[in-house]
Amino acid sequence: MEALEQFKQFLDGRGLKYTREREKIFQAIVAFEKPFDVDGLLFYLKQREIKTSKATIYRTLQLLQESGLLRTISLSPTDHRTNLYSLCGKYRAYDHLICTGCGKVTDVEKKQICDSCRTITQDRGYQLESHSLRIFALCPECQKKGLTVENCR
């Protein structure tokens, strides 16, 4: 099922409407090729003269998360207010390298990680649906600038 149809069905099941604002926000999210933050989404919408509030964006993001269409990427192991968002598909792996210096997020697709997750879940009688791994490290660019792991904490 297409993501848009899935979102419409989710809203309908909750007795909510697929409004024009939700449509514009959803279309903007689909246009992002990389993870985005709320301010980036709001800026994108304003550039296209689409008027909406941050509150509406947050509510729509929450609905998209509840529908299983959107994932959250926490940029900090302790501060969950610094999140990025990205559309997702079911049964996918979400592994990221997150720079503790500049916050850059790099997707990691490694078969070995997926194989390990399958083995771990199967050994314990679980059925793997998806997994998420966040690796916090210092990117090469920040290292070149003289940043160290110690001064990024």
Query: What string of pLDDT tens digits covers the 153 residues of the chain?
Result: 588 888 999 999 999 999 999 999 999 998 887 788 999 999 999 999 999 999 999 999 999 988 888 888 777 666 656 788 888 754 355 678 888 888 888 877 777 787 888 899 899 999 877 777 888 889 999 999 988 777 665
Strands (E) located in 9-92: 70-74, 83-87
Q: What is the pLDDT of residues 62-96, one digit of tens each?
A: 999 888 888 887 776 666 567 888 887 543 556 78
Predicted structure pTM score: 0.64
- Both 23 and 76 in one domain: the answer is yes
Place of tokens 């996918």: 92
The conformational region for residue 49 under phi > 0 = left, psi -120 to 50 = alpha, else beta, is left
**Residue 106 belongs to domain with CATH number:** 3.30.1490.190
DSSP classification of residue 36: B
Number of domains making up the chain: 2
Counting every residue written for the chain, the total comes to 153
Residues 122 and 95 in one domain: yes
